[in-house]
Amino acid sequence: MPTMEPMTFGVEEEFLVVDSTTGELVPRSKELLPEARLVLGDDVSPELNLCQIEVGTPVCVTNADLRTHLVRLRQGLSTAAAEVDLGIAATGTHPFTPWTEQEIDRTSERFSNIEDIYEIVARQQVICGCHVHVGIDDPDLVIAVMNQSTPYLGPLLALASNSPFWHGLDSGYSSYRTQVWERWPTAGLPPVLDDRAAYDELVTRLQEIEAIEDASSLSWHIRPAMRCPTLKFRIGDVPLPPDDTFGYAALIRALVWTTARSVTNGRAPSAPEPDLIVSAIWRAGRYGLDDQLVSPSNGDLRPAADVLAEMLDHCRDGLEAHGDWDVVQDFVRRMLTDGNGATRQRRSYARDGDITAVIRDITSETVSS
């Protein structure tokens, strides 16, 4: 039986740009970006909408490396924002400012083309996610792991849900960002593919019918990265504090390691039923950790705590291989006790009855460590 080596990983986080006094969403990333690059260099980059900005960690080997970079990037970005009377907010959606007051960065040819093609769908994407990359050198193994990881997307989304409000209203969803994201034509669950050749052929066909510009335009919840040998998980909202991102990313790396081992050893289960997984993802985005989740192993509804315990058990070897067992156990326990980001946002609103207080709490927690 082949020995599985530890895997590298890295994270991209998107943030909303807000006025430092009012907390309102503002299209001012062009002012923030030069200041941020003085501090963070190329680790910070623009996003589709001018009220968004993104940071990305280097490739990391240990959980300590990743946490150090997550804290460094958030604190550096926040410091730069303060220089121009701005703040950054780690939330999947803004609690009250509507998307209609924002604008796409049309100085970018790529972003301008996106708006021209997708119109209102592009303009509504005032949302922020967390993208976790896990390194896999074998292109065919990337596809096999993608196929087999999809039953776990629901529990992952439940943990990372952090977008309950939309235009000043409680959406009723733990992750309303997911509902907005799925308006892209290729958004959602990836198809089950035989190998990398099948993936490449599909990308070519989608380009031929002008559904996508290139592979980076695929909006699947999980997909191969275009520019590096990684599997990229895009299912989660950007978490509130860096420690939530840290635990979430470590769990994903363990899932990929565990799945890759099963595939390599010829023990991967049969391809899951897509409709069941789509419904499980919807349920996780609707209720988060406040109701039952769909079990990845048998498709039954079970208490969220039981489904997360099942996932931890499934990933235990991967967690222990990277020294992450205690860290992720603590993360899951904290999520079940304190709630995910959506629960904490709602708690903030319930405490004060003031939607502007929610964004103040978000910006504070964004840089907590």
Residue 323's pLDDT is: 96
What is the average per-residue pLDDT within 170-181?
A: 98
Residues listed for the chain: 369
> pLDDT for 290-317, tens place per residue?
999 999 999 999 999 999 999 999 999 9
Looking only at the bridges linking them, the beta strands covering 230-237 and 9-19 are unpaired
Least confident of 50-54, 73-77, 173-177, 210-214: 210-214
* Burial of 229 from C-beta contacts in 10 A (0-12 / 13-18 / 19+): middle
Q: How confident is the model at residue 269 (pLDDT cuts 50, 70, 90)?
A: confident
Work out the mean pLDDT of the chain and round it to a whole number.
95
Residue 111's pLDDT is: 94
- Whether the per-residue pLDDT at 268 is higher than 80: the answer is no
Residue 94's pLDDT is: 98
Could you tell me which of 25, 17, 162 has the C-alpha nearest to residue 87? Answer: 17
Residue 180's pLDDT is: 98
Residue 2's pLDDT is: 52
HEC assignment per residue over the chain: CCCCCCCCEEEEEEEEEEECCCCCECCCHHHHHHHHHHHHHHHEEECCECCEEEEECCCECCHHHHHHHHHHHHHHHHHHHHHCCEEEECCCCCCCCCHHHCCECCCCHHHHHHHHHHCHHHHCCCCCEEEEEEECCCHHHHHHHHHHHHHHHHHHHHHHCCECEECCEECCCCEHHHHHHCCCCCCECCCCCCCHHHHHHHHHHHHHCCCCCCHHHCCECEEECCCCCEEEEEEEECCCCHHHHHHHHHHHHHHHHHHHHHHHCCCCCCCCCHHHHHHHHHHHHHHCCCCCEECCCCCCEECHHHHHHHHHHHHHHHHHHCCCHHHHHHHHHHHHHHCCHHHHHHHHHHHHCCHHHHHHHHHHHHCCC
Q: Which residue has the tokens 């009250």?
A: 96
> pLDDT for 305-363, tens place per residue?
999 999 999 999 999 999 999 999 999 999 999 999 999 999 999 998 999 999 999 99
- Whether the per-residue pLDDT at 225 is higher than 50: the answer is yes
> pLDDT for 2-35, tens place per residue?
568 899 999 999 999 999 999 999 999 999 999 9
Residue 4's pLDDT is: 82
Q: Which residue has the tokens 């958030």?
A: 74
Q: In the chain, what are the domain boundaries?
A: 9-363
Residue 13's pLDDT is: 98
Residue 1's pLDDT is: 39
CB 85 within 8 A of CB 230: no
What is the average per-residue pLDDT within 220-249?
A: 97
Q: Which residues contact 212 (CB under 8 A, 6 or more apart)?
A: 186, 203, 206, 218
CATH of domain 9-363: 3.30.590.20
Cβ–Cβ contacts within 10 Å for residue 236, how many?
Answer: 30
Among residues of the chain, what percentage have pLDDT more than 70?
99
